[in-house]
Chains A and B, each alone.
Chain A
Amino acid sequence: MIEARELTKRYGDKTVVDHLSFSVKPGEVTGFLGPNGAGKSTTMRMIIGLDSPTGGSVTVNGRSYAKHAAPLHEIGSLLEAKSVHPGRTAFNHLMALAHTHGIARRRVDEVIELAGLTSVAGKRVGAFSLGMGQRLGIASALLADPAIVMLDEPVNGLDPEGVLWVRNLLRGLADEGRAVMLSSHLMSETALIADHLVIIGRGRLLADTTVDDFTREAGGGGVKVATTEATKLRSLLAGPDVTIVSSSAEELLVSGRDAREIGAIAARHGVPLYELTAQSVSLEEAFMALTQDSVEYQSAPADTVRKAA
């Protein structure tokens, strides 16, 4: 369990994280989303004590990270993939971390195998591809069998097979009762893995919701209907909560009734349909609309510059 309360970080007069409160619960995958520069990485650095907060607090399983006797056992993290000395082999890197917590060599071999690095464990990390670096980072996050796993953009640089691997791995970890937190700037990718969403922009909390709710809210795109009898269908579908707009003589965009209903009504009245499609707003668009608002809301000058450019 990670709990952030009014967490704030300022660098000079620039506020990177602004009174942020959220929690990451066990048994769930929490997606931590925001555009680049929203303060995701800084927040994660504060969680494991690399940066100290200017205000507010964040606890890991009830205590600040540094107060734990075996911190890697509480939370395993991948921040930037290159948090490794390139001159050391993958095995030696993991072994050096394992020594601090008295973790046996057997476990090091285990996470190397889990991450699919067995064949390159003896190679120096400097020669690793981005994807292999990510796998090594994930292996070190899992090293001490932590109750919480926190990964910053874990799928960056992974091939499709690797992305699938991460997705299944994180799902499995959450199902085992661990708390999983992963950051991303890609909504569609995160929606596939996460249960819960914490969305931030400019360091502020924009939404603390579930993927299901977010999808439902984003899904109100209406149904596109194409028919030769547009006028007739229009009057048949009319109702108190229904709005219908038409983009051409034979096309209607209906909201307030789902595709099934519309099809049934048309069939009952013998109206021929040659297209019936639910129009979903993509999660990515909904996410962008959400974060875009916050950017516009908070920084008119920046927006003016963009318009002028």
Chain B
Amino acid sequence: MTADTLSDALSAPPARTTVHKVTGRRVLRSEWAKFWSLRSSWITLGVALVLLVAFGAIASATYSPDAVGTDGPPGPGSGGTSDAVSLALTGVTFASLAVGVLGVLLAAGEYSTGMIRSTLAAVPRRLPVLWAKSAVIGPVALVLTGVAALAAFQLGTLGLDGEKIALSIGDDGVLRSLAGAGVYLGLVAVFGVALGMLLRSSAGAIAALVGILLILPGLASLLPDSLYDSINPYFPGNAGSAVYALHQSSDALSPGAGLAVFAGWVALTLAGAAYRLVRSDA
């Protein structure tokens, strides 16, 4: 009797909790939960949205036709003249830093806190973690910043009421530009994840992000003019701003080409991150 109970106890599998295989969908679910359970995600995302809406609304509200060409946003998208869309999207540059940092924190934050050990112990194949992080933050940033861009534009139309540059949402290219801003910012967030996974340090990855998006084009202006003119549109930041420009300026790529080039940069960085994630010790 006692022996039976004992052998029963020994032969019974110790596990009774239902456990399932690790799948891409489950890893995605985990990364989704991880993203929303950090206060820093909410704050950074909130900052990005506020910057986007506030800068756009303020730029539109303070617009005066006399000052054309001086208070337009920087970058080839503006082409030296203001339009209602580029005014509404004044905040994209700042928002891009915020969503980029968001991506960096999601990835490099795991390394700086040691969380990566728990993560990779649960998903030892590793790559699904990188894909899932990208798949969570890309669409989240895309949708929310797209909506914020739309809000910035609608708020801006109030400020531009009666001005000759005023546009409405139904005008040619307006919706495409606003959506383009969302797509660009979604890709920037993924770019941040890739940089964070590649460099494994928040500070390093944020520095790289700022350097690549904002400083690199400035540095390149030191190159000889002919060379500069031909490579300038292909820099990540410049290709990215072509995605959401209403009017394609002469020295910039078309929105489609800009999107392809920027997505290419992001894919390249992701590939580097994937390589390091798989090949080196965590």
- A-to-B contact residues, CB < 8 Å: 27, 45, 48-52, 65-66, 68-73, 77, 79-80, 82-89, 92-93, 95-97, 99-104, 107, 140, 144-147, 173, 176-178
Contacts and interface: CB of A to CB of B under 8 A. Distances in A.
A92 B37 contact: yes
Given A85-B38, A92-B33, A96-B33, A140 B118 contact: yes
A51 B124 contact: no
B130 to A, nearest CB: 14
Given A144-B17, A145-B17, A147-B14, A99 B114 contact: no
B16 A100 contact: no
Interface stretch (B20-28, B149-157, B251-259): B20-28
A58 to B, nearest CB: 13
B227 interface: no
Given A83-B116, A92-B34, 13 more contacts: A49-B120, A50-B121, A51-B281, A66-B125, A83-B118, A85-B110, A87-B39, A87-B40, A96-B30, A99-B26, A99-B30, A101-B26, A144-B19
A66 B22 contact: no
Please report whether the interface of chain A is mostly helix, strand, loop or mixed according to DSSP: loop
A144 B127 CA distance: 21
Contacts of A52: 281
Given A48-B121, A85-B38, A85-B115, A99 B19 contact: no
Contact of B15 (A51, A71, A73, A97): A73
A97 B30 contact: yes
Which 7 residue pairs across A and B have the least CB separation, nearest first? A102-B20, A99-B30, A66-B124, A92-B37, A145-B17, A83-B117, A69-B21
A71 B125 CA distance: 10
B123 interface: yes
Nearest to B120: A50
Contact of B121 (A27, A70, A72, A102): A72
Interface of B: 9-10, 14-22, 26-27, 29-30, 33-34, 37-40, 109-110, 113-118, 120-125, 281-282
B113 A50 contact: no
Given A71-B121, A85-B109, A95 B40 contact: no
Nearest to A97: B122
A145 B14 contact: yes
Nearest to B29: A99
Given A95-B33, A140-B118, A87 B21 contact: no
Given A101-B19, A144-B19, A71 B38 contact: no
Nearest to B15: A145
Nearest to B129: A100
A186 to B, nearest CB: 23
Contacts of B114: 80, 82-84
B14 A102 contact: no
A88 B121 contact: no
B113 A82 contact: yes
Nearest to A124: B39
Contacts of A49: 120-121, 124
Contacts of B22: 69-71, 100-101
A50 B29 contact: no
A140 B121 CA distance: 11
Contacts of B122: 71-72, 97, 100-101
A180 B245 CA distance: 61
Most chain A CB atoms below 10 A, which of B114, B122, B125 = B122
A61 B280 CA distance: 24
Nearest to A141: B121
A177 B7 CA distance: 11
A86 B109 CA distance: 10
A260 B21 CA distance: 60
A87 B30 CA distance: 16
Given A85-B109, A88-B38, A97 B118 contact: yes
A42 B129 CA distance: 23
Contacts of B26: 99-102
B17 A103 contact: yes
Given A49-B120, A65-B124, A72-B122, A89 B19 contact: no
Contacts of A173: 14
A146 B33 contact: no
12 contacts: A70-B19, A70-B20, A83-B114, A83-B117, A85-B110, A88-B37, A92-B33, A92-B37, A101-B19, A144-B17, A145-B17, A178-B14
A48 B121 CA distance: 6
B124 A83 contact: no
B117 A79 contact: yes
A177 B10 contact: yes
Nearest to B41: A87
Contact of B37 (A51, A79, A89, A103): A89
Nearest to A98: B30
Contact of A103 (B18, B33, B117, B281): B18
Contacts of B118: 83-84, 93, 97, 140
